[in-house]
Chain A
Amino acid sequence: GAVVSQHPSWVICKSGTSVKIECRSLDFQATTMFWYRQFPKQSLMLMATSNEGSKATYEQGVEKDKFLINHASLTLSTLTVTSAHPEDSSFYICSASWGGGGGEQYFGPGTRLTVT
């Protein structure tokens, strides 16, 4: 149980284009989904928290107009990197929580984004 998928697993795009990453909870309803970013040899940095049906809460320093997050259903959240630049190249990971006590979050396999 508690499987989270991400699509695509890797993507290469040209500078200036937009890329959408999907995060799905496959066997549970995720009231909350989180988006993280990981740079090489660094920890996971929280970008934003999204609750189903409401606007995402962004961490300080994360541009909400650049990283668009939509959590339209209890099983799907999307992250769109708009007007991507090479510095946006990173490993993006989502996690999902069913909202129960305990704090467990279940992570997707991640998406490697390379902007050329």
Chain B
Amino acid sequence: DQQVKQNSPSLSVQEGRISILNCDYTNSMFDYFLWYKKYPAEGPTFLISISSIKDKNEDGRFTVFLNKSAKHLSLHIVPSQPGDSAVYFCAASRNSGNTPLVFGKGTRLSVIA
């Protein structure tokens, strides 16, 4: 049973527009959510995170929104840039650095110039 789901395997967006990547989770015990960006043959790079006590966290062009009642979070990138093209993984944990992350399958974002 997949606890973290990214239902869109790919997304194409024009440069300068907003990219919205979605993620759903099923385990209500998760209370910390993270987004990672990954290029081929490289390890994931931490982007942004959000605690379950918040509904929004912003860092530059990246904003993550959390809807706990819907068990849904989204990553907004605005404006999108060609360098943002990568695979984005949503991950969840129980707010402890010693707890493994549960990853979604990823969404491949392509930003078209």
Q: Interface on A for B, CB 8 Å cutoff?
A: 2, 4, 6, 31-32, 34, 42-44, 46, 49, 51, 91, 93, 95, 97-110, 112
Contacts and interface: CB of A to CB of B under 8 A. Distances in A.
Contact of A44 (B44, B49, B94, B96): B44
A109 B98 CA distance: 20
A49 B46 contact: no
Interface residues of B, number: 26
Given A43-B89, A46-B100, A6 B32 contact: no
A34 to B, nearest CB: 6
A31 B42 CA distance: 23
A104 B41 contact: no
A64 to B, nearest CB: 16
B76 interface: no
Interface of B: 32, 34, 36, 41-46, 49, 51, 89, 93-106
A57 to B, nearest CB: 9
A101 B96 CA distance: 5
5 contacts: A34-B100, A51-B98, A103-B32, A103-B97, A105-B101
A93 B103 CA distance: 13
A49 B98 CA distance: 8
Given A49-B98, A110-B42, 8 more contacts: A44-B44, A44-B103, A46-B101, A101-B96, A102-B95, A103-B94, A105-B46, A107-B43
A29 B22 CA distance: 33
A34 B99 CA distance: 9
